[in-house]
Structure 1
Amino acid sequence: MSDDRERTPETDAFALLGHEIRLDVLRAFFERYEPIDPDSRDEVRADRTLSYAELMSATGVEDSGKFNYHLEKLRGAYVEKVDGGYVPTASAIGLYEAVLANRPTESIAVDVEIDERCPYCETDLGWRYEQEYLTVECPACDEFWGLTYRFPKNGVAVRAGTDCFGALYDRMMYHVGLAATGQCPSCAGVVRSTIPRERLDGESTPTVELTCETCSWLATVDVVSALQFDPLVTNALLEIGVPIERSTGMRETEDVLPTVIGRPDSDDSSRVTIVVSCHDSTAEIVVDDEFDVHDVSVSERARQA
């Protein structure tokens, strides 16, 4: 009976791993793998290179024809032939690191408290860990934005609960900063940035939706969190008194979110103006549909009032 299901790159990638011999080939690489930065140095390549005979021996297969068939299936996607033998590709290494990071067969205890308080109501923040997503939220008010983001099990396992909030926030902000440049932090694909027009009513806090056009990575964050990595915006935020220099995760931006508003540009429909107020000062940031910053200004009059 034929299989009429549509073949996709994802199904093909998983299908390549659907045999014990192919898994044994990859295990042979992983058993001697060390997490060193890949480069072209001869000693690095030599350390990661296994000969045909070494790989065949690792699988226990004595039929060279059978072994060669399965090795060829892996070539290109997970294994590359080089002088002296074979090396794992970045895809194979990424697969190995993902397994180590997520450890799907292990359970993670989540009965610890986060030693952080809501910046608005001072209530102890709560958290939950579900489907490898870590959520931090305020159980008492709706002012704190909170956050939900993928956090590998290893990150939870090696930290106490009091350390998880900062690690989660910094991890998400690091990825958001990269995504804001147009590059997906997961697959290096192209990220599309969209500012929902319904939140540009002069009252709502503007957000930006960051979506990869290739894989499933996406994030929705307040617009300041995504813009703060632009040097012009960073300088303007510092000038009006947002103390972002005190935190690598720039968590201080939470304090100004209730004052942030947005409006469509009256002269150019492809641009919007984001207004950030802090300590009686105002920064106006003009961005376009591609999320490029076109102009940043600080209100002198507001600062002197």
Structure 2
Amino acid sequence: MSTNEALAGDSLPASDAFGALANEARIEVVEAMGRREAEGRTPARFSELFAESDAETTAGFSYHLDALVGLYLRKVETGDGSGESADGRHGAGYELTHAGREVARALAAGTYAPRSDRSVPVGEPCPRCGEAGLSGESSDGVLAIGCEACSQPILSLAVPAGLADGGEVPEAFDRHHRHRLAAFADGRCPECGGHVEREVVPAGEVRDGSAARAGVEDHADADRVQAAFSCDQCGHGLRAPVTLAVMDHPAVVAFYHDHGRDVGDRPIWNVGSEWTESILSEEPLCVRVVADLAGDSLALYVDRDLAVREVQRTDRS
């Protein structure tokens, strides 16, 4: 089935969609279109794309270009009266479709480029034991932060290919994932918009090997739990302390504001010593998350589905 037939009403199999990109010449076209769009040079005429390619003949290039039309490219009239003559493309130009734009952006960002494993300096004490033992290990596009002193996992999150190397990674990583974490906690995937499953799980429960990459022991600790998010549609997810799942709760934002503080001042892998978590009951599961500031306290009671069931605030005054 061609992409044009699929767009006419039938669903296009994933093998056909990806098969349309299974050629270096076609990848080059999508990359070229991405650059041209970023520079405001679209629609692009056949002759322009051919000139930017490594193709030896117009006939061969035309074959690959036509394979992209429908799903990744669309034909439009240039409206400039130039009158293309190659292969009967009189006045025809090409633009990226939404799918083509997504592929072009992924290629430009280096999403599909191989990435080496490396250690990432964190420079923060462990929020659980207080020791200066936090370390990060980046492997296969995932940064796992754990504590070498108490052998506990802290976070396991994807690292975008576009993030800077070296010492800038933790800061950029923090800013990038704040909005993603808020979206996951709200029940919607920031990648595809799909429904997100939210649950509290044992901190040592390893489903994707991320904790092991951080040098953290693969074991369940009954005294430690984490918030786990997973998209039903695309499979994206993350693991984080339960505290992070409630940081955007209105009661938390107001509590910090009343004390002249901003909940975003500290990195997501270390929300501060003012926070503590404890398991009040297992059946039903209830996690008590508490923040203490200047003698005042805020307690949130979180169930297994990461819903805040009750809020208690005690002010010293």
1:128 aligned counterpart, secondary structure: strand
% same residue: 22
Residues 68 and 109 of structure 1, relative CA distance in 2, 3 Å threshold: closer
The counterpart of 1:34, out of the listed 38, 43, 47, is 38
For the residues of structure 1 that align with 2:72 and 2:30, how far apart are their CA atoms?
8
How many correspondences in the alignment? 272
Unaligned runs of 5+ in 1: 1-6, 36-43
For the residues of structure 2 that align with 1:112 and 1:197, how far apart are their CA atoms?
25
For the residues of structure 2 that align with 1:115 and 1:196, how far apart are their CA atoms?
27
| TM-score computed with the length of structure 2 as normaliser | 0.67
Structure (1/2) with the larger helix percentage: 1
RMSD (Å) for aligned C-alpha atoms: 4.0
Alignment pair present for 1:75 and 2:69:
yes
- Deviation per CA, 1:10-61, whole angstroms, max 9, x where unpaired? 43332121134422421331343428xxxxxxxx5xx332124434555544
Cα contact 1:236–1:296 (8 A) shared by 2: no
Residues 204 and 10 of structure 1, relative CA distance in 2, 3 Å threshold: farther
Tell me the CA shift for residue 229 of structure 1.
1.5
Alignment pair present for 1:210 and 2:218:
no
Cα contact 2:278–2:287 (8 A) shared by 1: no
The counterpart of 1:220, out of the listed 239, 244, 247, is 239
Structure (1/2) with the larger strand percentage: 2
Residues 236 and 274 of structure 1, relative CA distance in 2, 3 Å threshold: farther
For the residues of structure 1 that align with 2:143 and 2:261, how far apart are their CA atoms?
26
Which stretch shifts more, 204-213 or 215-224? 204-213
- Deviation per CA, 1:215-255, whole angstroms, max 9, x where unpaired? 1211122222022113233224555x695446164555242
Look up the match of 1:299: 314
Which stretch shifts more, 250-259 or 170-179? 250-259
1:69-218, aligned counterparts within 5 Å? 70-84=64-78, 85-102=93-110, 110=118, 113-119=121-127, 120-142=129-151, 145-155=153-163, 158-161=164-167, 163-196=168-201, 204-218=223-237
Residues 287 and 82 of structure 1, relative CA distance in 2, 3 Å threshold: farther
For the residues of structure 2 that align with 1:67 and 1:297, how far apart are their CA atoms?
67
Flag the structure with more relative contact order, 1 or 2, with Cα contacts below 8 A and sequence separation at least 6.
2
Look up the match of 2:17: 13
Tell me the CA shift for residue 175 of structure 1.
1.2
Unaligned runs of 5+ in 2: 1-10, 79-92, 205-221
